[in-house]
Structure 1
Amino acid sequence: MLIAGCSPSENVADVTTGALSFNSEYAGNTSSLTWAQNSKIGIFEKKSGQTLSESSIVDGLSNIPYQTIGNGIFTHTTRPLTYPQDGSAVDFIAYAPFSDTLRSYQISVDVSQQTDNPWLNLLASNNLVARTNTKQPTLRFKRALGKVTLTINSTDGGDISGLTATLFDVPTSGTFDLRSNTMTVTAPRNGSIPMTMTGSKFTRTATAYVLPQQLQALKVRFTAANGLVREVTLSPSVTVNSDNALQQNVTISGLGSTTTVVPGKQHWTETPLITSQQSSNVSLRYIEHFFARNGQNYRNYAMLYDTDLKMAYWVAYPLCTFYTQRNTGRTDAWDYDPLLSTEQQPTMKNAIERYQRGHQIPSADRYVTEEANKQTFYYSNMTPQAGALNGQVWARLESAVRGWSSNIDTLYVVTGAMPTTTSSSSVTYVRDNSGKNIAVPKYYFKALCRIDRSTGAAYTIAFKFDQGNRGTTSAGTSVSYYSANYMDFALSVSELEELTGFTFFPSIRQQYKLTYDVGKWQ
């Protein structure tokens, strides 16, 4: 076993005539090696210049165990290595830790096990060539594996001492060949490697030994103590070399002990973060709807619903051509949400006073099946929305969103409504068809995210519209919704997070939410 420490300072005498002993040093990125007491290495002596094989081994000196008392000088424990009596030159190949079950000069390594795995410290030496008389030659060792080290900082003050990190979509099995001094990947590149975690509440270090390789992307799955999972791509393309360390700094938020998830519920890329305060609020419900097609269930949408205000703060859903294919039409199946009592949701069989029934997830986003479309007509998906907004600039934005989703893998959408603003905490109510008070949103929003699967980069944009016939653009100008351009109401997702208090697309890096590029949304 290799441990940290200083250079060896004492020697051991070998009393066997002609027997070789060996010094050792590290040829990698540190200045010296220190070995634990009784550490063993295996050494092969072969004819110089020949490939390691049964026929090239000198006098049967194959995989001979040598041991150190901890000073880095190795002596034989059974049969000693000696130079040939005819003076012919030999090469020495060594490895650590020693194994008496080594076969075919190959060592199988499985890095999916990062604890109690001696091969994580696999060392190899092939520097001693054409030797004839050096009595105590020096074996220069290098590590056969690479190492990934992440320094993780919590940016929101959350305690991340319970955080775990796992590398995924990586190969985990390989074979090290002592003949060529190379590692070969032997398993598909879809394995997982749990990382070793150390550090404090707010700064953690995650380390893992990995097979040397070219990775298309360095992907990490972070799991908070409360079960919240976030998958991120740290680098689109990286090379991990043997005997080398890849180091990266990572900043995260929303994964500390101040947040939680709703037990038993799914959380997808489009799902905003559910905080511990929200999950403990008895008036808030996290609701998911699914539909069946060809014997399989598919997610339709999820929402954060307020049973007191009788409205959803947000509705989150994926959008792609699968969902918009025209297998049915608009069902107009206005009805109660079966996952809520009728008293917890509005009755909106007909329009309410001066407002239209505004969908949060549009009917036209779900033509894949009749069931999927009917679910968009649940009253829980409705809010009282001004006709000039619902039928004009909002409708144009909904159409554009469908267009943006038509030529990409998946567009992740969050549509929402807010009953209060940062400057006004009062809630306005109207009566529904049954006389219940229901909240009237003060503004509506959409947050969008798409991910480039080849690079891992995310592109985001958000929109905000005041309730009414007119709205204030991002430039501060008041315009009529009848002639307004929805792009005039664009803002960054980060800005929308500041306004609403929600964390959108928590699985992507914050840098992707700070700005938006209109050119990506044409």
Structure 2
Amino acid sequence: MKKQALLVFAVAALLPGCSNDTDTDTGNDTRVSLQVSGGISIQTRAQDKDWNKGDAIGIYMVDAGSMDIAEGAENRRYITAEGDGKFSPAPDNTVYFPVDGSATDFLAYYPFEAALTDGALSVDAGSQTDQAAIDLMTAKTVSTADEPLDKNHSKVSLAFTHRLTKLSLTIAAGNGMAAEDLAGLEVEITNQRAKGSYSPLSETFSVASEPVQTIALNTAASGTSAVAILLPTTGPEGINPIVAGRQLVFTLAGTGEVFRWDIPDSKSFKQGDKNIYDITINRTSLDVTATIVDWNEGNEGGEPGSAE
């Protein structure tokens, strides 16, 4: 079962005359603000189970059933200052429900980006140094007749899901190799599109078709593990069709020896999937097996393989 992060928005009934980050009395109506708290399950983030200090999400409030921004609440920044899942609006970013009681929908994304280009945030998997910064997650909840979202029904839950795909390798020394030989190992994946954009409001991806590049995985100094967050591949008519001839490439630091494994052209790295591969580097070959862990079940039972 896929684990999800839940952000719960709860109304705080505060006295009139408070700052602009609280509820305020406007004659016969009260402006109702959002107070945000959130929890993250162990597989939600790229590296650990918790928010980091200073993590920020972007929030949109729209008129129910539309993409029309309500109350100017577009790309509002909410921050968990202590990394404890309790979010507060940045200055002048508080979201207020419409005072007339109109129903609204909510969209949100992580990580927050202030300078959007034509309403879209940039996505770049070319560098894997800071994986939390490229672990794009999004959420949406809509008003319904049974569960309206308005100032009188202002408790809103957002379930975040991953929009990219994760590749995780566990690496061991095999025949003719010592564990020390893996130190400084370089791991790469070839034939990847790395750049694109995502529009939180329209919930649409755009992927740059060129250039296709080789991406270096984030590899432990010991060489025993490597991780990458990549743009998900799609069918031939999709936004990111598979580029034939993809390989995992392993280069030993001490000797410069190179080992390659051909990724089957039929293998899609789908949105939200986490694919884990167990790699054994023998002196003359690679042994590769694949199993399934969380994010979503990406390998559908596992994929055996070997390469020289």
Whole-angstrom distance in 1 between the partners of 2:131 and 2:49: 20
Q: SS of 1:83's equivalent?
A: coil
- CA shift, 1:165, in A, is 0.6
**Aligned pairs, number:** 247
Whole-angstrom distance in 1 between the partners of 2:187 and 2:118: 36
2:173 paired with 1:154: yes
1:67 to 72, 79, 83: 79
Q: Which residue number in structure 1 is paired with residue 27 of structure 2?
A: none
2:252 paired with 1:224: yes
- CA shift, 1:141, in A, is 1.1
- CA shift, 1:232, in A, is 2.2
Task: Flag the 1:238–1:173 CA change in 2: closer, same or farther, 3 A.
Answer: same
Q: SS of 1:235's equivalent?
A: coil
Letter in 2 for 1:43: I
Whole-angstrom distance in 2 between the partners of 1:37 and 1:209: 21
1:138 to 154, 157, 165: 157
- CA shift, 1:200, in A, is 4.6
Whole-angstrom distance in 2 between the partners of 1:240 and 1:220: 14
1:147-201 CA distance string (max 9 Å, x none): 1112222212332122111000111112112134343321336211101112757
Task: Flag the 1:195–1:82 CA change in 2: closer, same or farther, 3 A.
Answer: same
1:207 to 227, 233, 237: 227
2:216 paired with 1:191: no
Q: Is this contact kept in 2: 1:197–1:206, CA < 8 A?
A: yes
Gaps of at least 5 residues in structure 2 are 15-21, 24-31, 235-241, 286-304
2:279 paired with 1:250: yes
Q: Which residue number in structure 2 is paired with residue 34 of structure 1?
A: 50
Whole-angstrom distance in 1 between the partners of 2:41 and 2:233: 20
Letter in 2 for 1:224: L
Whole-angstrom distance in 2 between the partners of 1:183 and 1:194: 23
- CA shift, 1:116, in A, is 3.7
Q: Which residue number in structure 2 is paired with residue 48 of structure 1?
A: 64
TM-score when scaled to structure 1?
0.43
Gaps of at least 5 residues in structure 1 are 1-5, 257-457, 459-507, 511-522
1:297-332 CA distance string (max 9 Å, x none): xxxxxxxxxxxxxxxxxxxxxxxxxxxxxxxxxxxx
Whole-angstrom distance in 2 between the partners of 1:47 and 1:117: 34
Q: Is this contact kept in 2: 1:144–1:242, CA < 8 A?
A: yes
| Superposition map of 1:371-386 within 5 A | none
Whole-angstrom distance in 1 between the partners of 2:130 and 2:49: 21
Task: Flag the 1:236–1:103 CA change in 2: closer, same or farther, 3 A.
Answer: closer
Q: Is this contact kept in 2: 1:28–1:143, CA < 8 A?
A: no
Q: Which residue number in structure 2 is paired with residue 121 of structure 1?
A: 135
Q: SS of 1:115's equivalent?
A: coil
Q: Which residue number in structure 2 is paired with residue 76 of structure 1?
A: 89
Question: Pairwise CA RMSD of aligned residues?
Answer: 3.3
TM-score when scaled to structure 2?
0.69
Q: Which residue number in structure 2 is paired with residue 424 of structure 1?
A: none
Letter in 1 for 2:267: V
Q: Is this contact kept in 2: 1:66–1:74, CA < 8 A?
A: yes
- CA shift, 1:26, in A, is 5.0
Letter in 1 for 2:307: R
Task: Flag the 1:119–1:13 CA change in 2: closer, same or farther, 3 A.
Answer: same
More helix by share: 1
2:113 paired with 1:91: no
Q: Which residue number in structure 1 is paired with residue 296 of structure 2?
A: none
Q: Percent sequence identity over matched residues? A: 27
